[in-house]
Structure 1
Amino acid sequence: MTLASRRSALPPTLGLDFGTTNSVAAIADPSVPGGVREVGFPDGAITHSVFRSALDFWQTGSRQRLETLVEGGPWAIAHFVESPEGSRFLQSFKTFAASSSFRSTVVHGRSFRFEDLLATFLDRLAAHADPDVLPLPRRLIAGRPVTFAGGAPDPQLAQSRYDAAFSRAGFDEIHYVHEPVAAAFWFARRLTREATVLVADFGGGTSDFSIVRFTVDGHGVTAHPLAQTGVGIAGDGFDYRIIDAVVSPKLGKGSRYESFGKWLEMPAHYYAAFARWNQLAIMKTGETLRELNRLAGRSDDPTGLEQLIEVIEEDLGYPLYKAVSEVKFALSHAEEAQLSFRHRDIAIEATVRRADFERWIAGDLEKIAAALDEALARAGLADAAIDRVFLTGGTSFVPAVRRMFTDRFGASRVETGDQLLSIAYGLALIGAEEDVERWTVREAAVA
């Protein structure tokens, strides 16, 4: 049997890039030459190529017979924007995947574990998929970061949660591939000569690196993985730096409160929650809000604390995220941008300069650079041994991030393209390989 015939005997595969901010899916059918197609999501006159990694829950019906409804992706955002009252909006929940401290969150009286949230999200993704690609394949190649987000991530826990959610979604063959490896696989299709390629994948929650050696012969391109590393810092962390410097001081950060005759600084953990958009959603508890109201009554900045309470009570995480993300995007093209966030009593207006933004994220960039150094060290390579650098992921648009690579490797060696799609396409292509296990990764169970 030839390699081509072995490939054609494989079943169709869904490549799924479940991201912190966006998710993308593609299907590979080995029986069709070059047969990789994206999974689109029709929405009236347009078709979305990415599905926002978000959920919105709300209730309908009478008090005696309430029904909880849920939407995902762009439809979750649309419903939340139209009817924020009573909605429970969740975004960036991938960040919970490897967190042992996150057990569940309560949504309209029901407890949801991470695997429940992911299974619900996958159900909505499938429900909105283009009918032309349905039913979706039951064979799955899912992307996963090299290093999960969080202070002490547990990759084995994340894998078990993923396994449970994907099984509930109907997949009966599940494989995992490091996300930058998938991006490298997609990039390799354009190679005409052998090359050592560094792929840097910058998402919302993690920055991951993969170094792959590609050789080219009469049978095509062959890949030889050399090293993978990652760090739990990326776009969401950059957002937090803007919030910490510009928004949080307007919401009471830096203020003091009186306790037993002493003036104490406002607890920092309320503002640290802005470091992960998913954390804001789980702060909306009676205990947290009662404590904040108590502190506001004793604060030297009661207005700021009251506005922080408003952000939490009114589920303003998404509009705040949108305002900050727009500023970050604008700073990729301009030296300064205007941050504008308004809601009832909250009115935050500020000019954000790129130079200040780059100063705020300098520490994050150092940690990202250290992860890059580690990848090169593991591969046993000097900078000069890298022939091509491929940047993918939305955060790769940040000038300071791109400059990290052009300064180090030279602009002629650095390429970008398909920043949001390359991983899903690469995952699907790997699924069409006869030796798929060569590319997959699975955490060993803890004895």
Structure 2
Amino acid sequence: MKSFPGLDFGTTNSTLALGTPVPAGASPVPPRLLALEGEAPTIPSALFFNLEDGITRFGRAAVADYVDGADGRFMRALKSILGTSLMKEKTLVGRERVSFEVLIGRFLTHLRETLERDTDAPANSVVMGRPVRFVDESDAADRDAENQLASAAREAGFRHIEFQYEPVAAALFHETRVSAEELALVVDIGGGTSDFALVRVSPERARAPDRREDILAFSGVHVGGTDFDRLLNIARMQPEFGLGSETSDGKRRLPVWYFNDMATWHRINFLYSPKVLADIRGLKREAAEPGKLDRFEHLLLNRSGHRLAGAVEAAKIRLTDEEATTIRFAEPGLTVEAPASRLEFEAATRELVSRIEGAIDAVLAGAGVGADAVDAVILTGGGAQVPAVSRAATARFPHARVAPADAFGAVGMGLGLDAARRFN
């Protein structure tokens, strides 16, 4: 039977789901998530250009090559660059300067080839997820981001590309599990963005070909899991590398942008340049704590920034279940440890949570309903597992049930359902 793909290209992880068309008026058939790497239905949105063997690796294989110290270029969180000025730049991969649109296209090509091997058929059409807002402050940049993603998908070989808002897709998948009508609030906290939608769902509505009237409101902010990583990194690890240090004469602090960029997933690669290395060596000569800048220099010389970010991310995940942990970065030549508590983490990220709360308020206001009208809150995305985020998303809805959702697959499966409806 013919099936249609929905592709959730995420900042941190990606999924592909196949939706199956059904006769008009029939209930949707649950989509199938493809195994994208071994048996795993998710693949980290990462590439590694291995300069030792000339092979480009994707997902967990890319992360493994990088962590093992192979000579090459590691790329992750490319979705965060869409709509920004960085999309107009090129980055050095070996001896080749490559645009970020081409890099995203190469990752999407890998997914399309996986899809075609699974279905043994050409993959020409796809419904892709998109956040409600790629870029908060500019409608023009937001449109550019969607156009850039569509162009990268065409670069990958897709010919018919349509988009669906990611929280709407999650609501469509949730709908396959309900037995009566309800008003559902989707809270989708991804790696780079947070998206929200208020949608009426029911078994009867699921059979309708056009669902626009059932989407009461949606909203989004450019806050995601990588932002929580960044602020934890800045608060607990970057001071060990020089952030907040003074010059030896006590007259000024060291520039902060080097450390902020080292804590930001999609900006780390831009630090690996002769100029930045020279800058750090110059700062070291006048720093009150030059040993800390020795550590920063190690990160530059060994291209270790993403390994440090990974250690911070792992600690953030542990703080979901633990009140305190230790962030530990260790590799030949350098070991750095710093304690981190959930209390400190929540203090460092309070502004992010406040922005998420504001976006939820905007959805309710846009729909013209009160919190007591919401029947179900659907939490999806890895960032929704952060305790402060889940509290913020559910506390104002004491009468709503918190609906179980696949944190990493709900959006992709909803896109697969949408693809079956659109392309049938």
Fold equivalence (TM over 0.5): yes
Aligned-partner Cα distance in 2 for 1:384–1:202: 22
**CA separation in 1, counterparts of 2:223 and 2:422?**
34
Q: What is the match of residue 232 of structure 2?
A: 242
Counterpart of 1:421 in structure 2: which amino acid?
G
- The answer as to 2:71 corresponding to 1:38 is no
Instruction: Kindly tell me the number of residue pairs found equivalent between the two proteins.
Output: 415
Gaps of 5+ in 1: 1-7, 62-67, 437-447
| From 330, 348, 352, the counterpart of 2:340 | 352
Q: Quick one: which of 165, 176, 180 aligns to 2:167?
A: 180
Does 2:118 correspond to 1:132?
yes
Residue type matched to 2:391 in 1? R
Deviations 1:18-58 (A, max 9, x none): 00000001112316972622111353xxx111010001012
Label 1:97 to 1:200 Cα distance change in 2 as closer, same or farther (>3 A).
Answer: same
Report how far residue 12 of structure 1 moved: 3.4
Change in 2 beyond 3 A, CA 1:263/1:403: same
Q: Distance in 1 between matches of 2:263 and 2:367?
A: 32
For the 8 Å contact 1:98–1:150, the answer to whether it is kept is no
- Counterparts of 1:150 and 1:59, CA distance in 2: 37
Identity %: 31
Which residue does the alignment assign to 1:255?
245
Please tell me the residue identity of whatever aligns with 2:81: F
Which consecutive unaligned segments of at least 5 residues does structure 2 have?
none
RMSD: 2.4
1:74 and 2:60 matched: yes
How do 1:47-126 residues align onto structure 2 when only pairs under 5 Å count? 47-60=39-52, 68-82=54-68, 84-102=69-87, 103-126=89-112
2:323 is equivalent to residue 323 of structure 1: no
Q: Secondary structure at the match of 1:227?
A: strand
Structure with greater strand percent:
1
- The aligned counterpart of 1:394 is 382
Shift of 1:306: 2.0
CA contact (8 A) 2:194 2:220 kept: yes
The answer (yes or no) to whether the contact 1:39–1:133 under 8 Å persists in 2 is no
1:429 aligns with 2:417: yes
Q: Distance in 2 between matches of 1:76 and 1:384?
A: 46
C-alpha contact 1:163 1:174 (8 A) present in aligned 2: yes
Q: Which residue of structure 2 lines up, in the alignment, with residue 5 of structure 1?
A: none
Query: For the Cα contact (< 8 Å) 2:37–2:43, is it kept in 1?
Result: no
User: Which whole-Å CA distance do the structure 1 matches of 2:408 and 2:77 have between them?
Assistant: 16
Q: Does 1:265 align with 2:253?
A: yes
Question: Which residue type is aligned with residue 274 of structure 2?
Answer: G
Q: CA deviation at 1:137?
A: 2.6
Give CA deviations for 1:226-259 in whole Å, capped at 9, x if unaligned.
111111112111111211111010000111236x
- Matched to 2:190, the amino acid is G
Write the distance in 2 (CA, Å) between the matches of 1:136 and 1:416.
34
Distance 1:420 1:308 in 2: 34
Q: What letter corresponds to residue 23 of structure 1 in structure 2? A: S
Matches within 5 A, 1:215-230: 215-217=202-204, 220=207, 223=211, 224-230=214-220
Instruction: Give the C-alpha shift of residue 406 in structure 1.
Output: 2.9
Superposed, 1:23-34 pairs within 5 Å as 23-30=14-21, 34=29
2:184 aligned residue: 197
1:136 shift after superposition: 5.4
Task: Find the aligned partners of 1:417 and 1:36 in 2 and give their Cα distance.
Answer: 14
Name the SS for the 2:251 alignment partner.
Answer: strand
What amino acid is the match of 2:330?
R
Q: Which residue of 2 aligns with 1:157?
A: 144
Does the Cα contact within 8 Å between 2:268 and 2:306 map onto a contact in 1?
no
Report if aligned partners of 1:236, 1:275 keep a CA contact under 8 Å in 2: no
